[in-house]
Structure 1
Amino acid sequence: MNVIIIDDEKNGAEALQLLLKHNCRHVNTIALKHSPEEGIESILTLQPDLVFLDIEMPNASGFDVIKATKEINYEVIFTTAYEQYAIKAFKTQAVDYLLKPIDVEELVAAVKSAETKIEAKSNKVPADLEALVKKIVYSSKKISVPTSEGIHLFDAREIVRLESDSNYTNIFLKSGQKFLISKTLKSIADQLKEYNFCRVHSAHLVNLDEVDKYIKGDGGTLILKNKISIPVSRNNKAELLNKIGL
């Protein structure tokens, strides 16, 4: 059984690897990663059977990792420093967890439980993991997209607008940063459907929370809070006006 350990605490991750080596000899640890971004990339690339996943990490949580890799069919065992009362919710979702510091007997039992699920599951994402994603992870405002540097997690609330560049897309953030990603505007628009974004033009997707005003015209023009003007096409005008309540 191929396993990835994702934990920002290097010592903790290495200690878990040793526990697995000495107590679960059939487990093959194929990667140790110490950030959510590295973890996402390793899951997408290596497609493990099981992931030991820390919950609290810098920049993103374990839930963000699940959301970004939900198309990969794998089991999750959470490793967390949360107290017992705080993790009962995760237990009811049929996803195993281990409380730090990790107890060997609990580790062995959790691995056996994961093995049972792996043997029984089909190619579809397990229903318990999917339920966890829908109930908890989708409340996150982060989206994951590939950039020239790897996998990047963006907070949707920090995105001002997106602009098409052939088969690529430019993302413009509130901070003034600009990122070129290797996805079409349409695919990113699909990821942002649950947030307050609107496709106002074939080349433009806008965060409506960043709109200052709408100027009437053939299609019209949006003026953003940062004073940037965005054209609105006639084909997209009705959807925009409906979303902003005009």
Structure 2
Amino acid sequence: MSAETHGVLYPARLPSFRRVPPPAPLEDLVRWFWIPEWDIAAGRTSRQYLVAYPACNLVVQPEQVSLTGPTTRLSYRDLTGRGWAVGALLRPAAVPAFVDPPADLRDSELLLDEPQLHSAVVKAMRIAEPDRRHREAVETLSEWLAERALPVSGEGRLANAMAELMDSAADVRTLHDAATRLHISPRTLQRLANRYVGLAPVEMIRRRRLQEAAQRVRLEPDASLAQIATELGYADHAHLTREFRDRLGFTPSAYRRGVWPSTQSL
């Protein structure tokens, strides 16, 4: 699967988009930095749909600095005019430095009063040369995060391991599967998810599986939906269809045909 488009439902509509790995000191705090830039024709809107990772994001934009919480449903953003964002997909260990518990930020965002950070990133993003402006913006955000969220505790690293397992292990399908692999009790796993992610472990597993299902439905036109459902651990084709409809608002068949959600605006 493409790391650039995993979770993006309509990648053909992406603006210029770059993911930047974190510097070594921040590897326990940030999964990656992401920088979209766009220039949309006057009078038009580009709506970006996402099945977001079960995580918080720190985002600097021309008008504000914000922390967005984990989502429980399909999310989108309408892009108009010219703009950019510099974001950090936070690892669980970074989250308590900003919000406790993160469940308070489900499907919402918190504006942060950080004028110095904001002005420094805006200044970096005014640099004409793309590689340099991206590098300086990421360095600025990295320094600020290091001061705010380092050092990382042992429990924070365990929470990171939990999230990595949930996101990458296709054979982890239940709470008990995950607890067994991490050598902790189901109760401890639930506590970690509550404090560091804001979603229940089973919801994290469902999100990974839904991301994978959407990617395969789009990229494997010859694979039957029943086959995809079975290989990803759904009970059957109907189970996959219900999950799509309940979480995304449309069926996998409609998605494969390129039918966009009814809220699409152009």
Tell whether the structures are fold-level matches, with TM greater than 0.5.
no
Structure possessing the higher relative contact order (Cα contacts under 8 Å, 6 or more residues apart): 2
Higher helix share: 2
Task: Flag the structure with higher strand content.
Answer: 1
Larger Rg: 1
Structure 1-normalised TM-score? 0.29
